[in-house]
Amino acid sequence: MRIFDTDRWEEIFDSLSKNRTRTVLTAFGIFWGIFMLILLMGGGRGLETMLGSNLAGFASNSGFIFADITGKPYKGFQEGRYWYIKLDDVKRVKDCVEGVDVATPIIQNWGSTAMAENHSCSVTVTGERSDYAQVDNPKIKFGRMLNDVDDMQHRKVCVVGTRIVEELFPHLGKEDPCGRFIQLDGVYYCIVGVSGKSADGINIGGNAQTTVHLPYGTMQQTYNRGNRVDVLALTALPGYKMSDVQTRVEQLLKRVHVIHPEDTKAVLKLNTEAIFSMIDNLFRGVSILVWMIGLGTLLAGAIGVSNIMIVTVKERTTEIGIRRAIGATPLDILSMVMSESVVLTLLSGMSGITLAVLILQGMEVGFSESNPEAQFQISFGVAIGAASLLALLGVIAGLAPALRAMKIKPVDAMREE
């Protein structure tokens, strides 16, 4: 029985080394499968967090309404008539349309030039009310957001994008520019806030980093915009779909402005709820694809492990017979074969996990400056789950060869020799 008192690890590695070529190829299959699975999972998570950080703060149940020329004649009005959303329409939508949570107006001016301290840059000017932050949060980096008092008192204040600060106040670096003034179309405005929004997210009307946000009342008065509204921004109450809310808003606007009910050109709609749903479905599909590729490769590796263990059992038939003859139980033989299978699977698999984790860490460090919220690294739970999956595959792969080895009788082993 002294044969069973030797170092089991040395015995396992000695057995695997006898079939070095097959062992290496099988180990590489397991290694590559788990490596690709972890790497693709981490990469998908990183892309999702990067996109999520760009879209963070934008209401996922929001929508926008724009006025366009009519496409059909109606009640004496000719086709191609211009019409505009008015401030009265905003209040009417808020009061009369079921499912509307926020209804807020936006006015815009493109091609303006901002100047300060002998520097200038081209900007987009947007007039907003304070409740627009519920639709698209400006992610204030310095200072504060615009409020209702700014709007009611027509204060000459503004919130600017980060690139505007960089171009107009290059000497400040990363310092707070709040309290400084910029000249915009001949009027001076005091900076009360800096928006930290990225240009990569959803931006209505222009690049968020080159946009100057003014109180709605201030821009309405300064630019003599009257009651005309460029964009009607909406959010839906919980339990309501934005597509249904937008349809009801469209019907209301068409009745008020005498537009044909079936005119598909007069009212333009942007449904960001559909965009967020599409993004969610995209990443869900990517996740499913990653698991299919990874599990398929792992399954192929497990089949390879099973094949090499079958070959190993066949080549060691005499040895197994001798072990049985000197007192080894079927459980000892089962343990011998299963341990080799599990060790081969775990060693190759853990090597793949380690390399994938190192690469993901490098990617996370590389993107940390441009997008600090990007998270490529897998969680500890995923790593434990992957290791458990590898152990399970090792057990399954070695089960059939182990059962075959258990059935070998000493007499049959001697006869085969």
Tokens of 257: 């402005």
CB burial of residue 10 (10 Å; 0-12, 13-18, 19+): exposed
Range of the domain at 313: 2-55+277-416
Q: Is 281 helix (H, G, I), strand (E, B) or coil?
A: helix
Q: Are residue 113 and residue 248 in the same domain, yes or no? A: yes
Q: Is 101 helix (H, G, I), strand (E, B) or coil?
A: strand
- Same domain? 319 vs 203: no
Q: Give the pLDDT of the chain (417 residues) as one tens digit per residue.
A: 343 444 555 555 555 555 566 667 667 777 777 787 788 888 878 777 777 666 666 778 888 999 999 999 988 888 989 999 999 999 999 999 999 999 999 999 988 899 998 889 999 999 999 999 888 888 889 999 999 999 999 999 999 999 999 999 988 888 889 999 999 988 999 999 999 887 666 777 778 889 999 999 999 999 998 899 999 999 999 889 988 999 999 999 999 999 999 998 999 998 888 777 887 888 788 778 877 877 777 777 677 767 776 776 666 666 666 666 666 676 776 677 677 777 777 777 788 888 888 888 888 887 776 666 677 777 777 777 777 777 777 677 667 666 666 666 655 555 555
Residue 279 CA to residue 290 CA, distance in Å, equals 16
Number of domains in the chain: 2
Query: Contact 67/265 with Cβ under 8 angstroms?
Result: no
Last residue of a domain, one of 247, 272, 297: 272
Determine the 3-state secondary structure of 314 from DSSP: helix
One domain, residues 69 and 138: yes
Last residue of a domain, one of 210, 239, 272: 272
pTM above 0.85, yes or no: no
CA separation, residue 325 to residues 200, 330, 331, 363, 401 (Å): 72, 11, 14, 57, 20
Single out the residue in 251, 272, 293 at which a domain terminates.
272
